[in-house]
Amino acid sequence: MLVFVLGDGGRVKNLSICLILLSICFASRFAPAQDDLAGARVSLAELEWRGAIRRYTAILETAKPGSAEWTEATYGLGISHHHVQPPSSETISAAMRQYQQIIDQASDQRYVARAMMNVGRVHELRDYSEDVVDLAKAREAYEKVVARFPNDPIAGEAVLRAASTLVMAFDEPNYEQVKSGITMLEKWLAAHPDDALASVMWQYIGDAYFRPLADYENALRAYENVDRLGWTDQGNQGPWYWRAAQLAERFLDKPDIAAKYYAKIIMETPNSGKAYESMESLRRLGKPVPSSPLFETVAPSTQPAVGTASTQRSKP
Amino acid sequence: MSIDTRAEKPARLGGNLLGVTMLVVAFVVSLIVSTVNTLRIERPNETIIRIAHWQLEKGYREALDIAIKEYQRRNPGVKIEQMGVTEKLYNQWINTQLISGTAPDLCEMGQSNMLTKDEYTVKYFIPLSNLITRPNPYNANNNLKDTPWKETLLDGMRGGFREGLQEYYGVPTTLISMRLFVNRTLLKQATGSDALPETFGEWMAQCRAIREYAKKTGQERSLIPIVSCYGIQSIKGTYEVPFTSSYERELDLDLNGDVLPIETYIGYRKKQVTLQDPSMQALFRSMKMVGDQMQLGFSGMDRQTAQYTFANQRAAFLSTGSWDASGVAQQAETSGFDLAVIQMPLPAEDEEFGAYIRGRQNEASSNGAGVYGVYKNSKHAEQALDFMMFLTSREGNEILNQNSEWPPLTIGAKPSKLMEPFQPDPRGYNARVSLGFGPRVTQVINAELVNYFQGFAPFSEFERIYNEVILDPRRGGDWAWWNEYDLRRRDVRNKERVLAQDLALELITPGSRDPNRTRRAVLQQLTRYNGTDYLWLFRTEREADPFVAWKDFQPVFP
């Protein structure tokens, strides 16, 4: 072909164009991986796992093992295989391989810690229909994170995940695992009261005491701690306020605490559907009823809940 | 044999020239047309914001135009163009626009999978969480000036929240509610008074009087007391809470303040609630009374027929939503009858069924509607968002909703006179007995209960069929329980995707992600226990091994 092209003087120009295009392609292969990484990040941000797999695979063809590009691409490829749909044993195995590469070769310890956590996530969750959940292996993976990174913020998350593998056993009748999960978290919180996930942990502990243990005293204690720290799912904590109020009023004879949560429902979560009943409850308890912005704004044009319904009474 | 081709050459050259010329001409013409069209659409020297929706109900487009004019007056150089697309076409049209990268800057969210499913939402729309926590500058001169934008809406912007993504992707602009429309003129003709019914007993008495009047005036077949745009189920829905919220104390096992269908099923199995309970019987019998005042075979009446019947004064009461109010009001004006709007009347204490009424259903947890998302490829995303701020400011929301005759969503925005009765009533209760557990049981309820309400079958027949299906081990409550478990487990797995993405992007660019969002996702995932709490609940409440009971069940949604 080259002879043929060279044989025709008019086609030398074509050859030049071909060579230029080829050299552009060749050069782009060795261009900084940053542009490709940026494209892969966009795929990640858009949850486009297949696109991310293509891009990260291409980057890894030239990235130097252990380099920053290699670490990001290997990790990105790992989570893309982990979450691409439809999942299969092959995609999950590929994800595990890439996580292991990060654990073995990456110098950035943040990636190593997160890859170790992800190994636990693979064991904990059922990823495809034949997948087998292995909570013991998951816990082992989380505990390894705590052991290797005891002073990093990820340690708290790993403890929470490890504890949850025990709590979710719901092992009636004695609930030994549930109790040991709670103990694990309470011990961590005693040593790390300011953990970034402390509020989440207390809420989780409260839920576990409430159900399956039916230990209402401790459930309320945990919820009080959440309330002190601030609720994580701000705006949606209404059902927990209601539960805390019910535990306090109906089961623990603590009307002051019940009143506190009823007032919070009225003031903080008036859209929860329980504000009106909270007002009734406060009246029943003989406590002051706070005014609610929602009721002040909307309710004046409406009629009381009990009794008649008409909003345009105009009986002659 | 040799072939002399020299003679053919000029002819081929001529043909080639013609072809090339035609190609060039076609190319140039296409280029000109395309450039002109592009310039016409894009107008590079102007800031054009396009807003697409399917709200073609009377008054909405005009109202949006008024709001747009006011916005343009305040923002010279900005032009907003609305694109109203019929409901039937919106789905296909918006999909094409999104795929081709030419979607409007603001799109009403809904109708299409690409506007409702998380995987598309994240690809095509801008996340808003970081933006909606700041005050809305268009509220600068009212008492919402320091309130975060999100909190200035009655629903806390829940209407735009995507739980699967833990992110706000839309801004709601209005509220919706169901009410009873009354033709007072007809009411007076038939009963001698146009007094609105204040109680359920009064309402039924008026309906009976209308029946009598129809009989006397030879309109027995054509004049009916009640019509409904959405069947009797929508009416029954508003009575379920008043009649059954008292069950909450016994049935609400997780003390979250609501009775879930699974909790109703557990209670039904334990006979804590039965179809023969006096309050349940009161609910069914009262709804049968309502059904008796609707037309024979009312389940076949669609929305348009119901509206037409009411507009033509062939019915005294119409049950429908706020979105129809403007059209119904205009029809009333055209037909020359007095219109009133009321909430569904409840039985008074001293009336039949009154003893079973706890109070009305509150509407405090209504989500906003008319939700608009900002298209990711919008050239003027910031300006588009600014327009949404205006539309949901107290003043802008008043302009939009007063003129469209829809209920406003922004705190303090005044509704139009017609909309006053549609404002959500936060007073009342929320829990109810939910007999429909799972799609199969719900299907049976919808069909068989309506047969009873229409007088086609006795209550005992509904009761027999309901018990048959709810207790059926293969398609009843146990199947629905398994289905809930399966959905819960999948939900946790789906959340893992979003969480993984969030954590990866934070690893790549530290400080780029909102840690609260991550914590919230972790909490929500943890408190679903990978579905194992539903296994435990089955073991302890049904006293059976779920893996034995469910061994043959397959997922409904692959």
Q: pLDDT tens digits for A287-313?
A: 999 987 677 766 544 334 443 333 332
Contacts of range B67-76, beta carbons closer than 8 Å, 24 or more positions apart = B67/B390, B67/B391, B67/B396, B67/B399, B67/B400, B67/B403, B70/B390, B70/B396, B70/B399, B71/B387, B71/B390, B71/B391, B71/B396, B74/B390, B75/B383, B75/B386
B117 contacts chain A (CB < 8 A): no
pLDDT-based confidence at residue A27 (cuts at 50, 70, 90): very low
Residue A5 is predicted with a pLDDT of 40
B195 to A315: CB separation less than 8 angstroms, yes or no: yes
Using CA coordinates, name the residue in chain B closest to A233. B520
Q: Mean pLDDT, to the nearest integer, of B30-36?
A: 78
Tokens standing for B90?
Answer: 């919106």
> What's the whole-model pTM score?
0.85
- Contact between B233 and B446 under an 8 Å Cβ cutoff? The reply is yes
pLDDT-based confidence at residue B39 (cuts at 50, 70, 90): low
Pairs of CB atoms within 8 A across A/B:
224
A126 to B158: CB separation less than 8 angstroms, yes or no: no
User: In what order do the strands lie in the sheet containing B224-228?
Assistant: B224-228, B315-321, B178-183, B339-342
Q: Which residue(s) pair with B429 in the sheet?
A: B361
Cis peptide bond upstream of B426, omega within 30: no
| Dist. CA B504–CA A44, nearest whole Å | 8
Mean pLDDT estimate for chain A: 87
Residue B7 is predicted with a pLDDT of 43
Tokens standing for B229?
Answer: 């745009």
What single-letter amino acid sits at B329? A
Residue B199 is predicted with a pLDDT of 98
As a whole-number percent, the residues of chain A with pLDDT over 90 amount to 75
Q: Mean pLDDT, to the nearest integer, of B494-501?
A: 92
Q: Among B342, B507, B516, pick the best mutation site for testing chain A contact (most A Cβ within 10 A).
A: B507
| Dist. CA B506–CA B502, nearest whole Å | 6
CA distances from B220 to A102, B160, B188 (A): 81, 47, 18
For chain B positions 256-285, those within 8 Å of chain A (CB to CB) are: 256-258
- Contact between B373 and B125 under an 8 Å Cβ cutoff? The reply is yes
Q: Is B497 strand, coil or helix?
A: helix
3-state secondary structure B354-413: HHHCCCCECCCCCCCECCEEEECCCCCHHHHHHHHHHHCCHHHHHHHHHHHCCCECECCC
Mean pLDDT estimate for chain B: 91
Q: pLDDT tens digits for A36-60?
A: 899 999 999 988 999 999 999 999 9
| Dist. CA B526–CA A56, nearest whole Å | 31
For chain B positions 288-327, those within 8 Å of chain A (CB to CB) are: none
Tokens standing for A284?
Answer: 């029943």
| Dist. CA A220–CA A244, nearest whole Å | 6
Q: Is the pLDDT of residue B213 over 70?
A: yes
Q: Mean pLDDT, to the nearest integer, of A262-285?
A: 93
Q: Among B179, B401, B523, B541, pick the best mutation site for testing chain A contact (most A Cβ within 10 A).
A: B523
Of B279-283, B322-326, B551-555, the range with the lowest mean pLDDT is: B551-555
As a whole-number percent, the residues of chain B with pLDDT over 70 amount to 95
Q: Is A252 strand, coil or helix?
A: coil
| Dist. CA A186–CA B326, nearest whole Å | 58
When computed from its CA atoms, the radius of gyration of chain B, rounded to whole angstroms, is 29
- Contact between B189 and B338 under an 8 Å Cβ cutoff? The reply is no
The answer to whether the complex's ipTM is over 0.90 is: no
User: Looking at chain B, how many residues does it have?
Assistant: 558
Q: Which residue has the higher pLDDT, B10 or B334?
A: B334
3-state secondary structure B73-137: HHCCCEEEEEEECCHHHHHHHHHHHHHHCCCCCEEECCCCHHHHCHHHHHHHECCCCCCCCCECH
pLDDT-based confidence at residue A22 (cuts at 50, 70, 90): low
Q: Which of B427, B429, B520 sits opposite A302 (nearest CB)?
A: B427
Is residue A163 within a helix (H) or strand (E), and if so which, with residue range? helix A153-167
- Contact between B178 and B320 under an 8 Å Cβ cutoff? The reply is yes
Cβ neighbours for A288, distance < 8 A, ≥ 6 positions apart: A282
Q: Can you tell me which residue has the tokens 């009943």?
A: A277
Which chain B residues contact residue A201 at CB under 8 A? none
Q: Mean pLDDT, to the nearest integer, of B335-359?
A: 96
CA distance A256 to chain B (A): 19
Sign of CA dihedral A142, A148, A151, A154: negative
Which chain A residues contact residue B120 at CB under 8 A? none
Q: Can you tell me which residue has the tokens 């006795």?
A: B458
Q: Is B82 strand, coil or helix?
A: strand
Q: Which residue(s) pair with B49 in the sheet?
A: B80
